[in-house]
Amino acid sequence: MLKMAQNPMAEMQKMFSNSPVWGQFNQLTQGKNEQELEQVARNLAQTKGINLDQFRSQIGL
């Protein structure tokens, strides 16, 4: 569904607009460049004990 959307971010906002987690995610990522977004993802993964590089390889990224 998101892959087919012209604007995946807008589609996700519609789907998760009532979620406080989504609101927090939006604040964390607003105005960030690609390197900053990757650092946010690494930091979040680390707080959950997830190795982001291993996760990426498992899902084919």
DSSP secondary structure letters along 4-52: T-SSHHHHHHHHHTT-HHHHHHHHHHTT--HHHHHHHHHHHHHHTT--H
In a domain, 42, yes or no: yes
In a domain, 4, yes or no: no
In a domain, 55, yes or no: yes
Verdict on whether the full-model pTM lies above 0.85: no
In a domain, 50, yes or no: yes
The whole domain housing 57 covers 34-61
In a domain, 49, yes or no: yes
Q: Tell me phi and psi for residue 14, to 5 degrees.
A: -65, -45
In a domain, 45, yes or no: yes
pLDDT digits (tens, 9 = 90+) for 4-50: 667 877 887 888 888 888 888 888 888 999 999 999 889 989 999 99
pLDDT digits (tens, 9 = 90+) for 31-40: 999 999 999 8
The structural domain count of the chain equals: 1
